[in-house]
Copies of this chain bind each other. A is one copy, B any other.
């Protein structure tokens, strides 16, 4: 078993980005600038946005956080999105989800200009990704692809089984890994709650992507000897062994699967740290007009 160290790779990439930003600024270029809209005071959302701000600082980006109370009108939020679309200093921005129930997440997402949609949630970016055009890829699938690439894990001709068909992980990673790219060119099977004989299907996979959101679901008996196992799940459970009283579990029963796997991502420290890095990478691309040239 060999650990895919997402934390290390994330730090490496942050350093690379920081160096590039330094060069851009030394060359007289504009400092990349990420904005985030956050509505209400949800603890998890606050934490995520805080991490994103901190990461911006680490790599030398400017960052702006725009806060709204949770009774904000949808129209007010839409107006702010339009202003950000027009603001030439903001290269990209995100709207922290979920939004309060009286606001349509989808309406807000579709109001974001695709060229500034660094979360990659706008249908234009998803659609462009599907047809293999340059696009902002959302954080988790982009992070997985980056880990696979940096660890030189062969995907061409390999059997990949994705467990879970969510819009933000299962579906996009299935498409990305099946495409005529490197990494990519894999034979990809999408599985989900209706899949029969899941154990049989998964046990043939050279690479398993567990993204169903079910703590310690994937056990050793389901995994082929030597398979690469990518764990996307994060479930917070009570623990009397940690100071905080909580611990994080992935979708993979790590200890037993690790003994059988070739490469494996831990939780925490695997895919998780890559997601913020993907957002930084998208923001850098936005500031360089890489995806949507002007």
Interface residues of A (CB under 8 A from B): 106, 122-128, 130-133, 156-157, 165, 167, 171-172, 174-175, 178-180, 185-192, 194-196, 201
Contact = CB atoms under 8 A, between A and B. Distances in A.
A82 B189 CA distance: 40
A187 B178 contact: no
B187 A189 contact: yes
A65 to B, nearest CB: 26
Contacts of A188: 189-190
A126 B201 CA distance: 28
Nearest to A170: B178
A215 to B, nearest CB: 22
A174 B127 CA distance: 14
A157 B195 contact: yes
Contact of A130 (B133, B171, B185, B194): B171
Contacts of A126: 123, 126-127, 130-131
Contacts of A128: 123, 127
Nearest to A190: B178
Given A124-B124, A187-B201, A131 B167 contact: yes
A23 to B, nearest CB: 32
B178 A175 contact: no
A188 B174 CA distance: 10
A105 to B, nearest CB: 11
A55 B124 CA distance: 31
A213 to B, nearest CB: 15
A78 B61 CA distance: 38
A192 B165 contact: no
Contacts of A165: 178-180
Contact of A175 (B157, B171, B179, B196): B171
A191 B172 CA distance: 16
Given A123-B131, A157-B196, A171-B175, 10 more contacts: A123-B128, A125-B127, A126-B127, A126-B131, A165-B180, A175-B175, A187-B190, A187-B192, A187-B195, A188-B190
A157 B194 contact: yes
* A-B pairs, 4 with minimum CB distance: A123-B127, A127-B127, A126-B127, A189-B189
B171 A192 contact: no
Contacts of A189: 187-190
B122 A127 contact: yes
Contacts of A127: 122-128, 130
17 contacts: A123-B124, A123-B125, A123-B126, A123-B131, A123-B133, A125-B127, A127-B130, A130-B175, A132-B167, A165-B178, A165-B179, A171-B175, A175-B175, A187-B190, A187-B195, A187-B196, A188-B189
A107 B223 CA distance: 45
